[in-house]
A and B are shown apart, each in its own frame.
Chain A
């Protein structure tokens, strides 16, 4: 393929990525940029060129052991909910921007520890980056078929330009904000897009090899099983292989947490804790998909690509051999994507560490104290930009000058083994509060030295001396010190062996020193905050123990230098509001110290933040005992506060309930008063009448007999009315209180209706009103017959009362309706006024116009009827739609 055409394609592709990054930065609030899928896909930065090309190489030579690198992460993922969530929570709380910051903060903002972690990471990752660049260069050569052409100077090496472009990309999109703990949405979105592309292109290549070059999976298997080394590469080789597997899995298990680029995408770029729930199943799925075709491509390559070719590049060589240039191009772009996402994120993470944990704390602090905020921000950004370029350039020269024979796979493993040295201080420190800074330092240094001795030194010695004596005889010829078989352990592969010894010595020294020495109070303070992160989350700044003297004004001017006056003012206002501190407060307390350190951590790293704030605050030493006591007390205070809050909430609820109950009682009281008032009024009317008539009669000697009889009749009638009223009131009271025992038994409803009609027949015939009832349906229902008669008589009397003499017709009917008996009584009278319909069942109904008596009179009849029907679990109501008169209905269950 033409050299220039490929370069054009690469340039177009890079431009496309720049555009995506631009777009994402511009639309940083869009849900296309902020979602769990971007997060999960950016985790796939784990799959570098090593995965893309290296896995196939390993699969073709040593079989399925390539899987170990993916099994570690897959095994670790269920733990993420527990461990990663904790790490993320702590990091977000303390504005942590890299793994160096994380470890340094855990051990009390230890400056040296942060620098040490940074150095270890750079040491491990730069060769790794250089290997990625090597992959670009080699695949470039393969696809352009210019193996004969060897670049003589940097200036005509296309890889150099690609490296510079990547550096520009990272420098531009990675240093938009001074606060390194902020998310880089542009870069993450491109990484996510690249993750999709590299997976898609690799799968296409896999399908091509399996189904086009061969006749499906079983065909490849059949053919491959004819090869000599087939058995060897498809099975375990005893115990040794088993150990190797175990160590490899452990190695990759650590890597997924500790690789700077993984820490960056998983922790710093995490937006929501709940994204983890998506990650724990989607990320393993991604890895699974990536590995489906690896073994088939490897077998396919072994079968068709004879001779001296690099096994790593089977994926690219297979389509090229079959003249499928377009596919080869896609495979190249996939690999290219894998490389650049790895290089970009690694450089970003490393540059943050180098600037915040190495350069700034060890050299630029004095400068910052004098500078103004704008200058300082530029300084910080420039330090990071220079770090980015330096890292990539160093990686590039590393690749140019050490064109060693190691495969992608081996250099990746060495890198993992070095990074794994962070594991004891990282993981144990997360759960064990005794782990101390000194122990962490010693453990890491011993671990790294062990890796150097057992893995890197043999290689260097080999290059320098040209012989293998160091490996075969050991240092100074001492058998016990053979780098691949330390103390006689000779059954492990070099990487597993190195990993075993380094981890053992590292962990052992970490634990021993931690147990033997006590860390200072500050270490212990942060240890408690990390380990009990969920407990101290609500304590926040209050969990930080600090004693001493500092002026708010000094701290304010220090913050001004980095954040500018506006942001400082805003931050301090928020802080004061949150803790209810007066703006005039002159002395700073522990919370403000901690808060200010956090504010600076994102920009200059935790160690520098501590040193800077320390420079304006006179700190007094606090004993370890005091720290623990204060923490315990703050925890208790929080607990008590919480309990008090709950109690107060309960009390408020109770008060609310009491209020409601009181309102109900008042309402009931009012109803009772009203009822009594009405009763009194109703009773007084006949009494007034009786009294007046009696007085008149007493004085009425000259009264005609006829009139006398009339007055006497009135007295009798009013006495009857009084008696009836009293009876009804008592009856209603009995029904309301539930003291009345109903005699419920089966009865024929139509018979009861006839009895009721009989009772009122005299009045009906006096008024000449017809009552129509069709008997003979034999409907049985359960009710108290006397009470039912009371209801029916009342309804019939009402109907009669409002029927016009001579013209009135009353219809009464009972019928079954599902599980109910429905009875209707209708008349052709004047009907019930609209405004009364809703109230006629109330006792002594008198609408809102308290002083206006309704023509229906003082009836308790309907109120009593309603109570009786309700006692039968039935309903009584007025048919509002009936226009020809009044229509009452009631139902009772059968």
Chain B
């Protein structure tokens, strides 16, 4: 079973994502900010992390950096889900090592398809 970690501070968005991926037989973990996300990631070693950028305390960029620098998480894919949709923002995200960058509001179907592609 693939493991997915959803990181977002908006509970309503998280709820939709959680339901979707559970239905697709993912093992789903949830974090409300970067700090929580890192703890869970180290512990569970997820296959993919859905990461918001603008979050309280530790932001998405910082979280990505930490994941990338952790040897145990070298196979973990990271997908940014952010309202920041300027070309410069997207480039920055990808350059920092994100595997995908989806802008909000995103299509759940497309997200699922992208992640399937990423993991296979």
Binding site for B on A (CB under 8 A): 680-681, 684-685, 687-693, 695-696, 700, 703, 707, 710-711, 714, 717-718, 849, 851-855
Contact = CB atoms under 8 A, between A and B. Distances in A.
Given A681-B83, A711-B16, A692 B105 contact: yes
Contacts of A680: 83
A695 B16 contact: yes
Given A684-B83, A687-B105, A696-B19, A714 B12 contact: yes
Contacts of A695: 16, 107-109
B7 interface: no
Nearest to A685: B10
Contact of B13 (A689, A703, A855): A689
Nearest to A700: B19
Nearest to B110: A695
A265 B118 CA distance: 102
Range of interface residues on chain B? Answer: 20 to 34
Contact of A696 (B16, B60, B61): B16
A687 B16 CA distance: 13
Contacts of B57: 852
A647 B3 CA distance: 74
B19 A707 contact: yes
Contacts of B56: 852-855
- Majority-rule SS of A interface residues: helix
A158 B105 CA distance: 119
Contact of B108 (A696, A717, A853): A696
Contact of A849 (B10, B12, B59, B104): B59
A853 B16 contact: no
A851 B61 contact: yes
Nearest to B84: A681
Contacts of A687: 104-105
Contacts of B19: 696, 700, 703, 707, 711
Interface string B71-110: 0000000000001100000000000000000001111110
A25 B99 CA distance: 88
A680 B104 CA distance: 11
B15 interface: yes
Contacts of A692: 12-13, 16-17, 105-106, 108
A43 B87 CA distance: 85
Top 5 nearest A-B pairs (CB, nearest first) are A692-B16, A851-B59, A688-B105, A684-B83, A689-B12
A72 B29 CA distance: 110
Interface in B13-63: 13, 15-17, 19-20, 53-61
B18 to A, nearest CB: 10
Which among A688, A691, A854, A855 has the greatest number of chain B C-beta atoms within 10 A?
Answer: A688
A707 B22 CA distance: 14
A680 B83 CA distance: 8
Given A681-B84, A696-B19, A691 B55 contact: no
Nearest to A846: B54
Given A680-B83, A688-B106, A696-B108, A853 B54 contact: yes
A700 B23 CA distance: 10
- Majority-rule SS of B interface residues: loop
Given A685-B10, A711-B15, A852 B55 contact: yes
B25 to A, nearest CB: 14
A717 B104 CA distance: 18
Nearest to B19: A696
Contacts of A707: 19
A691 B105 contact: yes
Given A695-B107, A853-B55, 6 more contacts: A681-B83, A681-B84, A685-B10, A692-B105, A692-B108, A693-B15
A717 B15 CA distance: 14
23 contacts: A681-B54, A687-B105, A688-B104, A689-B13, A689-B16, A691-B105, A691-B108, A692-B13, A692-B17, A692-B108, A693-B12, A696-B20, A714-B16, A849-B59, A851-B55, A851-B59, A851-B60, A852-B55, A852-B57, A852-B59, A853-B54, A853-B56, A854-B56
Contacts of A684: 83, 104-105
Nearest to B86: A677
A714 B15 contact: yes
A190 to B, nearest CB: 83
A847 to B, nearest CB: 12
A185 B76 CA distance: 92
Nearest to A707: B19
A812 B44 CA distance: 49
A375 B14 CA distance: 104
B44 to A, nearest CB: 23
A696 B20 CA distance: 7
Contact of A852 (B16, B54, B109): B54
Nearest to A695: B108
Contacts of A711: 15-16, 19
Contact of A685 (B15, B16, B59, B83): B83
Contacts of B61: 851
Contacts of B20: 696
Contacts of B58: 852
Contact of B83 (A688, A691, A703): A688
B24 to A, nearest CB: 11
A114 to B, nearest CB: 84
A667 to B, nearest CB: 20
Contacts of B16: 689, 692-693, 695-696, 711, 714
Interface in B104-120: 104-109
Contacts of B106: 688, 691-692
A867 to B, nearest CB: 25
Which among A691, A700, A718 has the greatest number of chain B C-beta atoms within 10 A?
Answer: A691
A853 B9 contact: yes
Nearest to A850: B54
A718 B108 CA distance: 17
A690 B59 CA distance: 23
A269 B59 CA distance: 79
Given A684-B104, A696-B19, A711-B16, A689 B10 contact: yes
Nearest to B59: A851
A707 B20 CA distance: 12
Contacts of A855: 56
Contacts of A696: 16, 19-20, 108
Contacts of B60: 851
A685 B53 contact: no
A852 B9 CA distance: 11
Nearest to B34: A852
Contacts of B59: 849, 851-852
Given A685-B10, A717-B12, A851 B109 contact: no
A717 B55 CA distance: 21
Which among B9, B12, B20, B84 has the greatest number of chain A C-beta atoms within 10 A?
Answer: B12
B118 to A, nearest CB: 19
